[in-house]
Chain A
Amino acid sequence: MKVEPFLWLMISCSLLIIAFILIPLFEMVAQPTAAAMAETFQDADVLRSILFSLSTAAAAAVISFVLGTPFAYLLARRTFPGKKIMESVVDLPIMIPHPVVGIALLSIAGRNHWIGQYLQAMGITLMGTATGIIAVMTFVGIPFYINTVKAGFESIPVRAENVARSLGASRSGAFFRVTFPLAWRSMVVGMIMCMARGISEFGAIVIVAYHPMVASVMIYERFTAYGIKYSQPVAVWLILICLFLFLLLRFFSIQPKSTT
């Protein structure tokens, strides 16, 4: 059978993109020796920075879950004036250059801003703290959470909630007994995406908090101080962790097959 030129175009573009993504990553993963990898993993600084990245990103994901779920539900279920604008605001952090995010957060956290004064009065500092890093990660990750969960809510028919209410459930009863059990999978996926986004963030974190050091900043520091060879093992460990998160995401995003 003769293959159409258009099909060839599609296949070659797809292969090119896959190669573009995989070859550099594969090369980097393949280059460090097992000894270097083991040595890096025993390096307390590296381990600490990776665990710190994971814990701060997890905190950002939990904040997104708590604050983002009601917001996503509102966007999925209600129409109101300004809804489109609100949706655009949610997407803003995806568009803004990363260092700008850091600068923007610092500018409201300083002494000259009323929010900064208020935060200081409560003993909260963003500059150079885990709180600052979590704030940055939440800022860049929450759009992914909200958009994923909103799509999850939208896929659940309003009629199911309506019937629940006609059967006597209050609005919250219908949410917790019908909507939540049907949407939790999208919430897990949203949290993993938010977390992955947080772990991968560098530009904004390096402005808000160089120390305590997250993994991405540690990789950058090793690269600038010692060169590519020393930064690679740390990067590989980070990639492996991100891959694990990605596998989790795939696992949760696949709907279970219904059983007879």
Chain B
Amino acid sequence: MIQLRDLSVKLPGFTLKEINLTVEKGEFFTLLGPTGAGKTLILESISGMIPIHRGTITINGKDVSKMPPERRGVGIVYQDSALFPHLSVRKNIFFGLRYHGKTVRQSGKELDAVIQWFSLEHLLDRSVENLSGGEKQRVAMARALAVDPSVLLLDEPLSALDPSFREEIRDNLKTLHEETGITVLMVTHDFVEAHYLAQRAAVLNAGLIEQTGTVADVFYRPSTPFVARFVGMKNIFPAKIDKDVAWVDDLQFTIPHSDNGFRKYVAIRPEDICVSRTNISKIATNVFNATITRIFNKGIYCDIRLDVSGTVFQSLLPSSALYRMNLAEGETVCITFTPERVHVL
């Protein structure tokens, strides 16, 4: 278990402010946020690479805030693998053994298991400089796990990989976590990774945690406009809200019942905005006539901008649907979204 209490880190030009975070034992937790939000800084504080200004870091109930990195029992894997280029794959993996009172012979079976797990048997005598990105990352993970750390910190471990390797390592990580039950804290800005791997997530912005919750919560029920934008809710509008009605300029939406008078925004995911050629106002709520202002073809999906009396909505349609409906810029269509899909924040 990792617990951060009021953690503050001050660096020239950047501050982490009072971070409170708990990663439960055996949990896979992701830290999300844009570049420069301070995600890596949190990992480096936990691992002891960066001195903290205030607060406490507890790992499995032990306060490690003032401990040197080598005594914290934290494994770390960086985006660029950070392998030791002067050592072979084998020597990279065995690097930490001597500090844990282990020899290769003593921990033979465990090491074999780690090596087999990452399918590295045939690479052991290779120089790490000639490995592919995926192989490097597998070696980095095997090296971290060889010393049996109590928690594993992953700093965007998949983002530098080719898509094919990325899926492979992602699957590796998932089964690894399921089978070993190790506590993992991973930094990423990729939602697919977060959804696939993690149970809970926190979103970080400019050194502050904006939201903590299950991945589904963060994704579908963002608590701030920043998180909403970050998780891809493109349609975020300032709104006047009264119980189950919201006004965005002159448009009136039906929304889920909201009793919090302080909420000022409505947000709708672009994939929740349906586009049709026929008017379905008799069978659906929140139906508006819209003019297609732009269509951005993004391969499998199309990003469509729709103007409803000056308010521009963004919808995401499968390209096949766009083709089937034969939609073009300048045309008038009907858009709709169910009240349950309107998120109030």
Produce 1/0 per residue, B92-132, CB < 8 A to A: 00011011100000000000000000000000001101100
B282 within 8 A of A: no
For B100, the chain A residues whose CB sits under 8 A away are 168
- Chain B residues, Cβ within 8 Å of A181: 86
Q: Judge whether A173 is part of the interface by a CB distance below 8 angstroms.
A: yes
Task: Give the distance in Å from the alpha carbon of A260 to the alpha carbon of B126 in the complex.
Answer: 7
- A88 at interface by CB-CB < 8 Å: no
Whether A166 and B78, one on each chain, are in contact in the complex, defined by CB atoms closer than 8 angstroms, is no
Complex contacts, B49 vs chain A, CB 8 Å:
162, 165
Decide if A167 touches B78 in the complex (CB within 8 Å): no
Q: Can you name the residue of chain A whose Cβ is closest to the Cβ of B130?
A: A260
A170 touches B86 (CB 8 A): no
Measured between beta carbons, the chain A residues less than 8 angstroms from B130 are 258-260
**Quick check: A182 and B86 within 8 Å, CB to CB?**
yes
* A113 to B: closest C-beta gap in Å: 40
State how many angstroms separate the Cβ of A197 from the closest Cβ of chain B.
Answer: 29
For residue A157, which residues in chain B have a CB less than 8 angstroms away from its CB?
Answer: 80, 82
Encode A158-182 as 1/0 by CB contact (under 8 A) with B. 0110111111111101000110011
One of A79, A164, A170, A182 near B68 (C-beta < 8 A): A170
Q: How far is the CA of A234 from the CA of B107 in the complex (A)?
A: 64
> Contacts A160-B82, A181-B86: A169 and B70 contacting too (C-beta < 8 A)?
yes
Q: Contacts A162-B69, A167-B96 given: A259-B127 contact, CB under 8 Å?
A: yes
One digit per residue, 1 when the CB lies within 8 angstroms of any chain B CB and 0 when it does not, for chain A 192-208 equals 00000000000000000
Interface core residue of A159, A170, A182 (most chain B CB under 10 Å): A159
**B144 contacts the other chain (Cβ, under 8 Å)?**
yes
A177 B75 Cβ-Cβ under 8 A: no
Contact B76 A162 (CB under 8 A): yes
Complex Cα distance, B84 from A165, in Å, reads: 12
Chain B residues closer than 8 Å to A173, beta-carbon distance? 70, 99
Instruction: Report chain A residues within 8 Å CB of B269.
Output: none
B78 contacts A159, C-beta separation under 8 Å: yes
Task: Judge whether B76 and A163 touch: CB under 8 Å.
Answer: yes
CB distance from B74 to the nearest CB of A (A): 6
Given contacts A173-B99, A177-B95, contact A166 B144 (CB under 8 A): yes
**Chain A nearest CB, measured from B95 CB (Å):** 6
Knowing A177-B95, A181-B86, A182-B86, the reply to whether A165 touches B127 (Cβ < 8 A) is no
Hey, what's the 0/1 contact readout for B137-160 against A, CB within 8 Å counting as 1? 000100110010100000000000
For residue B212, CB closer than 8 A to chain A, the reply is: no
In the bound complex, do residue B44 and residue A182 qualify as a contact, i.e. CB atoms below 8 Å apart?
no
Nearest-neighbour CB distance to chain A for B116, whole angstroms, equals 20
How many Å lie between the Cα of A65 and that of B92 in the bound state? Answer: 28
Chain B neighbourhood of A163, CB < 8 A: 76, 78, 82, 84, 140, 143-144
B129 proximity list for chain A (CB < 8 A): 258
Residues of chain B within 8 A of A164, CB atoms compared = 84, 95
Find out whether the CB atom of B147 lies under 8 angstroms from the CB atom of A162: no
Q: Give residues 52-89 of B contacting A (CB, 8 Å).
A: 68-70, 72, 74-76, 78, 80, 82-86
Q: How far, in whole Å, are A163 and B69 apart by their CA atoms in the complex?
A: 9
Interface centre among B12, B49, B70, B130 (most CB of A within 10 A): B70
Which residues between 131 and 163 of chain A lie within 8 Å of chain B, taking CB atoms?
A: 157, 159-160, 162-163
Q: Is B47 an interface residue when CB atoms closer than 8 A count as contact?
A: yes
Q: From residue A114, how far is it (CB to closest CB) to chain B in Å?
A: 39
**Nearest chain A CB to B242's CB is how many angstroms away?**
53
| B127–A166 CB distance below 8 A | no
B207 within 8 A of A: no
Which B residue's beta carbon lies closest to that of A260?
Answer: B130
- A259–B127 alpha-carbon span in the complex (Å): 7
Q: How many angstroms from the CA of A181 to the CA of B86 in the assembled complex? A: 7
A166 touches B76 (CB 8 A): yes
A22 to chain B, nearest CB (A): 38
Q: Are B84 and A166 in contact (CB under 8 A)?
A: no
CB-based nearest B residue for A168: B99
Is there contact, CB below 8 Å, between B69 and A165? yes
- The CA-CA distance from A170 to B70 in the complex, in Å, is 6
Q: How far apart are the CA atoms of A254 and B10 in the complex, in Å? A: 40
Whether B80 contacts A166 by the Cβ 8 Å rule is: no
Measured between alpha carbons, how far is A167 from B83 in the docked complex, in Å?
12
B38 within 8 A of A: no
User: For window 68-103 of chain A, which residues contact chain B by CB distance below 8 Å?
Assistant: 79
Contact between chains at A168 and B76 (CB < 8 Å)? no
Chain A residues with Cβ below 8 Å from B82 are 157, 159-160, 162-163
| Chain B residues proximal to chain A, CB less than 8 Å | 12, 44, 47-49, 68-70, 72, 74-76, 78, 80, 82-86, 95-96, 98-100, 126-127, 129-130, 140, 143-144, 147, 149
A: which residues have CB within 8 A of B?
A: 79, 157, 159-160, 162-171, 173, 177-178, 181-182, 258-260
Task: Give 19 CB contacts A-B under 8 Å.
Answer: A160-B82, A163-B76, A163-B78, A163-B84, A165-B48, A165-B49, A165-B70, A166-B75, A166-B144, A167-B99, A167-B147, A168-B96, A168-B100, A170-B68, A171-B68, A177-B95, A182-B84, A182-B86, A258-B129
> A165-B49, A165-B68, A258-B129 are known contacts; what are 15 more A-B pairs with Cβ within 8 Å?
A160-B83, A160-B84, A163-B140, A163-B143, A166-B69, A166-B75, A167-B144, A168-B147, A169-B96, A169-B99, A178-B84, A182-B85, A259-B127, A259-B130, A260-B127
Q: Would you list the 3 A-B pairs with minimal beta carbon distance, nearest first? A: A168-B99, A167-B96, A159-B82
